[in-house]
Amino acid sequence: MKRPALALILGAFLLSAACSTGGGTTSVAGTPKVGGTLKIALESELRTLDPLKSSQRVERQVYYNMYDSLVTIDASLKIKPGLATSWQYTDPTTLQFTLHKGVKFHDGTDFNADAVKFNIDRILSAASSPRKSELASVKSVEVKDSSTVVFHLKKPDAALLAQLVDRAGMILSPAAIVKGGADFALNPIGAGTGPFTFVEWKRDDHLTLKKNPNYWVPGRPYLDQLIYRPITDSNAALAALRTGDIDIAGTNAIADKDIASVKSDASLVYKDTPGLSFEGFEVNSGSGIFADKAKRQAVALALDRAQILKNVFFDLHTLSRGPIPPTSWAFDPSERIYTTADVSKAKSMATGFAFNLKTPNTPGSIQEATLIKDQLSKAGITATIQVEEFGQILTEASSHKFDAALVGWSGRIDPDGNMFGWFHTGGGFNDGQYSNPQVDTLLEQARVASDQATRKPLYDRAQQILVEDVAYVFIGHGPAQEIASAKVHNFSLIADSIDRFAEVWKG
Amino acid sequence: MLQYLVRRLALMVPVAFLVSVAVFSLIHLTPVDPAELILGEERSPEAVIALRHELGLDRPLPDQYVTWISHALRGDLGRSIRTNQPVTKAILERLPATLELGTAALAWSVLLAIPLGTIAALRRGSPIDVLATGFTIAGVSVPNFFIGILLILVLSVDLRLFPPGGYTPLTESIPDNLHRLVLPAITLGTVTTAINTRFTRSSMLEVLRQDYIRTARAKGASWRQVIVGHALKNALIPVVTVVGIQVGAILEGALVTETIFSWPGVGKLAIDSIFGRDYPIIQGIVLMIAFSFMLANLAVDLAYAWLDPRISYA
Amino acid sequence: MSTVYSPSLPEDVAETPVSQPTSLRALLRTYPRVAVASGLLILLVLVSVLAPWIALHDPTATDASNALLGPSAAHPLGTDELGRDLFARVIWGSRVSLPIAFVAVAVGLTVGGAIGLTAGYRGGLWDLLLMRVIDAILAFPALILAIAIVAVLGPGLRNAMIAIGIVQLPVYARLMRAQVLSLKGLDFVAAARALGASPMRLIARHILPNLLNPLIVQISLSAAAAMLAEATLSFLGLGAQPPTPDWGFMMNTGAQFLNNDPWLALGPGLAISIAVFAFNWLGDALRDALDPRLRG
């Protein structure tokens, strides 16, 4: 972890344990072995190594090991210090960070407040970047001294810290960015502060990172090298894992149908925890057949979610009660009205209608859609499956040309990230044009309130309303998974599905 | 002859133009927006507009076509939308893998087809011949992806003799590369083996009926001397030309074979790009294939015209 | 050698020159292969027609708790990932794949034939331009062109049929054109035209009868190629859309579940192979039987 003092002690302890000859009660996990190469499967190839331009979730897997952010999270999704050792709101729109001292970028230049300002300004002044909407509440950044930086906000934003855990808060070496020029995104030499440095990237083949000998957490990382390989076919990933071509596969790299055989393989390890995502299908409440609430409710009542979770996801996903997953502090475990199928009640709400269900062109989605169609037909509702490419569905959904679309959300750490863009009137992901003034108010209030105790009841209430309204038909929450060879040790599974390797050793 | 060549080349120009327009418009007529696809979850209306502008997708189609074709003629096929790599580089990088696979497929197919076809011809009507003929029809009837799946099922999943896919460059490890080459090469080569076997057989039958064969036999030459000394050589001439044509079949087969076995060649790039709406790559590959195909056909026609002066030039 | 999609097998060599069989019965007697191959094809068509009675289960009825079961008494080929009876789906799949082949060939035949006819009959600029269009189609390897067309029009069986039909065009265009050209110069044709015989009459009376033999052979081979092309397109996800039971698409799913239940791939795979084999075999046998002999 990134607390220097604790890490120092832990490091010294482990190091001494490693050096000691024989005996001694060391950590339960065994003595970390220093060195070795870890081979990692990615679910698809990356497009860019520049967080500014990054638009794919898979890219974060590499970023988190190469770049550090101002803040990080722990297993319970609490915000913890990263490159910033502490922070405070001097007033609701002023956020001050105290930065870690003595940290250097991989190219040798110093990490300091100027570097932070450079990176944030870079986002704010970019012509277009997916990061801009993440930092929409930031007005400017001010350098107080070399290790103090102040964010001036346009309005209070409780979700800002969570955003700074991810790509928006990653601090890269200004010198490296300037030196890299136009090809920086493909060749970010010396740009990070993280446990591993960039070596090379051979597209569609492999991406190599190597150990940062001057990492600011002493004694870390243990591994010498990380080699990432994009393996899009899950059967191929499983085979690679079995033959040792791959040591670890990320979340969703191995298909749910094969997890059982992973679990029964003694040379492999499988662990999971509920992730941040929600899945199901969005419905167009603004126009078309689903503008009628009764019809939305009928569909929500007729679905047998348990059967879908069993057949399509092999019971690896958790039943969803709304947009917030069980791992979040904002999770509300109270029973919602749509968790079990009630076909007769569905028929009483509305029956005898048809709608289009846009389905991504992947086997799992098609299987799920077919099952949904079958279940709904029992309630006299006809779902017509329209298989399209994911990109096409997104295009049509954002222009509101759909009835229903089997699109989910990968999830964000802060509950605001799973709700505001989706369910606030005019939200960026609100393809279904859902609009409820009560929900709007609740979400806006929760966004500016600063403590969880205030925010939670707001989110509870908002969820109750939008689930009852069937703003979205929720089915399940996907897991964050560790699927690895038994040789991989000390891996910590975090709900955001990012595989962090600073603490991992291989032996 | 020269006249024929010039005429053919002249006729190729309008065809080439039609082909390029077809390639361009085919791909740009789809309703999917690659900008939305790239941005995926991070899409916001401003980001989409900005990315479309960056990719040059908001200019009128004729403009885009002219830019594309004028660059293409100079060897610049633009940049991939998905990876931002120059298209020419992306294709050339993957060409060795496809060439290796295609060569291996053709090689084993020829090595198997010629003896098999010869034996079938020599023992015409026998059970071997019937089997061989049956095999030739089956070989072009069974889909190559089924063959691939069967091979993976038996030799990889069940017997664990071969990996189910993947690729190691020759520069890294020759044994590993060859190990992974076996299954895809067999899959890809099945169709051409069938064709070549059939062709060798009929060609050999033709030759065996010739008078000079009978003369040699009458003079006391053994069958082996006759076959190797005379028949085989003459029978092989048409076979060689046929093999040249099979490049087309290999290319088509490579699309599916490379996808099944995760073999990173041009075929897999094409399929991935189609599903990823990567216009520049799709255009580049199809254009290159179409033109090399046309040139190959021209070469074969010229070869025929040269070999057999009886062929008309109509 | 033209570059048609079907890897066309070269013709067999006759032992001795044979005379044309004069009747269907004579044909079948002299060439038993034609009889057997036709028999196989008729069997396939029968299976397809009688599907509702042979299948025993509803091919679209899901039974999610009984998914991925192996072969058993209740389910001869087992169940698929949604618990549907695989045997029923394979049988019903013939109702998708067979008609598609026929329609695609019909499209290629009529449109290609029309083009070839016009080019040959009109000659001159018409011929020049139309044949360049044909050349343009032939410039692409067939599968690639088919994929590109479907990628534009959108996935679906209808568009797959159009794409495959377009790819089949050139063979029929050239066939028709060659026949027309060879007849054009003949005296009796010129005489007939002078007497005012309409083009339709000429086509019906003189052109088509001479084409019948090579046409039948070509249709059989084209059908095989069309089935194979449709299976490949559907395998890639560009053809039939769920939940239509289509062999190619079933193999796509089957490849996914290879580790779990190989029958999902084996069932439809065998079905495609047998059907395509039947067409190819028939076409091959017919070619031996019908084409005038004396080679070399």
Whether C59 contacts C240, CB under 8 Å: no
Treating both helix axes as pointing N-terminal to C-terminal, what angle do C142-153 and C157-184 enclose, rounded to 10 degrees? 130
User: Once rounded to an integer, what is the mean pLDDT over residues C148-157?
Assistant: 79
pLDDT for position B29: 67
Contact B297 C277 (CB under 8 A): no
pLDDT digits (tens, 9 = 90+) for A345-391: 999 999 999 999 999 888 889 999 999 999 999 999 999 998 887 77
Which residue matches tokens 């999917």? B32
pLDDT for position B5: 76
Query: What is the enclosing helix (H) or strand (E) of A360?
Result: strand A354-360
pLDDT digits (tens, 9 = 90+) for C92-143: 999 988 998 899 999 999 999 999 988 888 888 888 889 888 888 887 878 8
Which of A310, A361, A367 is the best residue to mutate to test the C interface, defined by the most C CB atoms within 10 Å of its own CB? Answer: A367
pLDDT for position A415: 92
pLDDT digits (tens, 9 = 90+) for C30-68: 778 888 999 999 999 999 999 999 888 888 888 888 888
Could you give the 3-state DSSP secondary structure of residue A110? strand
Asked if the C-beta of A235 comes within 8 angstroms of chain B's C-beta atoms, the answer is yes
List A residues 119-148 in contact with C (Cβ-Cβ < 8 A).
none
Tokens of A454: 């205030």
CA distance C238 to chain B (A): 10
pLDDT digits (tens, 9 = 90+) for A173-196: 999 999 998 889 889 999 999 999
Helices then strands, counting H and E runs in chain A, come out as 16, 21
Contact C64 A371 (CB under 8 A): yes
**How confident is the prediction for chain A on average, in pLDDT?**
88
A14 confidence band (pLDDT: 50, 70, 90): very low
Pick from C243, C252, C260: CB nearest A370: C243
Which of B29, B36, B149 is the best residue to mutate to test the A interface, defined by the most A CB atoms within 10 Å of its own CB? Answer: B36
CA dist C29 and C19 (Å) reads: 14
What is the CA angle A75-A79-A84, rounded to 5? 125
pLDDT digits (tens, 9 = 90+) for A468-496: 999 999 999 999 999 999 999 999 999 99
pLDDT digits (tens, 9 = 90+) for A144-172: 999 999 999 999 999 999 999 999 999 99
Kindly list the partner chains of chain C, i.e. chains with 3 or more CB atom pairs below 8 Å: A, B
pLDDT digits (tens, 9 = 90+) for C163-208: 999 999 999 999 888 888 887 777 766 777 777 777 677 777 777 7
pLDDT for position B242: 72
Asked whether residue B97 carries a pLDDT value surpassing 70, the answer given is yes
Asked if the C-beta of A389 comes within 8 angstroms of chain B's C-beta atoms, the answer is yes
Pairing of strands A488-489, A148-153: unpaired
CA distance A409 to chain B (A): 8
pLDDT digits (tens, 9 = 90+) for A250-295: 888 888 999 998 999 999 999 999 899 999 999 999 999 999 999 9
Asked if the C-beta of A136 comes within 8 angstroms of chain B's C-beta atoms, the answer is no
User: Once rounded to an integer, what is the mean pLDDT over residues B291-298?
Assistant: 75
Treating both helix axes as pointing N-terminal to C-terminal, what angle do A452-468 and A437-448 enclose, rounded to 10 degrees? 160
Asked if the C-beta of C257 comes within 8 angstroms of chain B's C-beta atoms, the answer is no
Cβ-proximal residues to C233 (8 Å cutoff; 6+ apart), any chain: C146, C147, C150, C160, C163, C164, C239, C248
A contacts of C81 (beta carbons < 8 Å): 257, 311, 367
Which of A371, A378, A392 is the best residue to mutate to test the C interface, defined by the most C CB atoms within 10 Å of its own CB? Answer: A371
CA distance A449 to chain C (A): 45
Pairing of strands A206-211, A196-202: antiparallel
Contact B274 C151 (CB under 8 A): yes
Asked whether residue A1 carries a pLDDT value surpassing 50, the answer given is no
CA dist A460 and A336 (Å) reads: 11
Asked whether residue A3 carries a pLDDT value surpassing 60, the answer given is no
Asked if the C-beta of A267 comes within 8 angstroms of chain B's C-beta atoms, the answer is no
Asked if the C-beta of A204 comes within 8 angstroms of chain B's C-beta atoms, the answer is yes
Contact A311 C64 (CB under 8 A): yes
A contacts of B45 (beta carbons < 8 Å): 398, 428
B62 preceded by a cis bond (ω within 30 of 0): no
E strand spans, A3-106: 37-42, 71-73, 79-81, 84-91, 94-99
pLDDT digits (tens, 9 = 90+) for A217-230: 999 999 999 999 98
A461 confidence band (pLDDT: 50, 70, 90): very high
Asked if the C-beta of A362 comes within 8 angstroms of chain B's C-beta atoms, the answer is no
Pick from C141, C147, C154: CB nearest B293: C141
Q: Identify which of A393-407, B40-54, B74-88 has the greatest average pLDDT.
A: A393-407
Which of A42, A50, A55 is the best residue to mutate to test the B interface, defined by the most B CB atoms within 10 Å of its own CB? Answer: A55
pLDDT for position A248: 95
pLDDT digits (tens, 9 = 90+) for C246-268: 999 999 999 989 888 999 999 99
Torsion angle of the four alpha carbons B128, B130, B135, B140, in this order, in degrees rounded to the nearest 10:
150
CA distance C241 to chain B (A): 16
Asked if the C-beta of A255 comes within 8 angstroms of chain C's C-beta atoms, the answer is yes
B34 confidence band (pLDDT: 50, 70, 90): low
User: Once rounded to an integer, what is the mean pLDDT over residues A53-78?
Assistant: 91
CA dist A105 and A481 (Å) reads: 31
* DSSP states along A22-40: S-S---TT-PPPP--EEEE
What is the CA angle C103-C108-C110, rounded to 5? 90
User: Once rounded to an integer, what is the mean pLDDT over residues B287-307?
Assistant: 73
Contact B41 A428 (CB under 8 A): no
Cβ-proximal residues to A199 (8 Å cutoff; 6+ apart), any chain: A208, A209, A210, A225
What type of residue is B183?
L
Asked whether residue B310 carries a pLDDT value surpassing 60, the answer given is no
pLDDT digits (tens, 9 = 90+) for B6-26: 887 787 777 778 778 877 776
Pick from B27, B198, B293: CB nearest C139: B293
B33 confidence band (pLDDT: 50, 70, 90): low
pLDDT digits (tens, 9 = 90+) for B182-205: 999 999 999 989 988 888 888 888
Greatest Cα pair distance, chain C, in angstroms, is: 75
CA dist B280 and B16 (Å) reads: 18
Would you call B121 exposed, middle or buried from its count of C-beta atoms within 10 A (0-12, 13-18, 19+)?
buried
User: Once rounded to an integer, what is the mean pLDDT over residues A98-106?
Assistant: 95
pLDDT for position A23: 32
pLDDT for position B262: 86
Whether B289 contacts C144, CB under 8 Å: yes
Alpha carbon B53 to its chain centroid, in Å, reads: 36
Query: What is the enclosing helix (H) or strand (E) of A396?
Result: helix A390-398
pLDDT for position A228: 95
A335 phi, psi to nearest 5 deg: -60, 135
Asked if the C-beta of A236 comes within 8 angstroms of chain C's C-beta atoms, the answer is no
Q: Which one has a higher pLDDT value, C290 or C169? A: C169
Query: What is the enclosing helix (H) or strand (E) of A114?
Result: helix A113-124
Contact A235 C256 (CB under 8 A): yes
Q: Which residues on neighbouring strands pair with residue A145, listed in sequence order?
A: A148
A contacts of C260 (beta carbons < 8 Å): 257-258
pLDDT digits (tens, 9 = 90+) for C223-236: 999 999 999 999 98
pLDDT for position B75: 77
pLDDT digits (tens, 9 = 90+) for B101-122: 999 998 998 899 889 988 888 8
C3 confidence band (pLDDT: 50, 70, 90): very low
**How confident is the prediction for chain B on average, in pLDDT?**
80
What type of residue is A16?
S
Kindly list the partner chains of chain B, i.e. chains with 3 or more CB atom pairs below 8 Å: A, C
pLDDT for position A63: 97
List A residues 270-329 in contact with C (Cβ-Cβ < 8 A).
307-308, 310-311
CA distance B81 to chain A (A): 9
Tokens of A113: 């407040």
C294 confidence band (pLDDT: 50, 70, 90): very low
Contact A311 C259 (CB under 8 A): no
pLDDT for position C7: 46
Asked if the C-beta of A258 comes within 8 angstroms of chain C's C-beta atoms, the answer is yes
Query: What is the enclosing helix (H) or strand (E) of B190?
Result: helix B174-208
Query: What is the enclosing helix (H) or strand (E) of A477?
Result: strand A472-477
CA distance B299 to chain C (A): 12
B37 confidence band (pLDDT: 50, 70, 90): low
pLDDT for position C59: 86
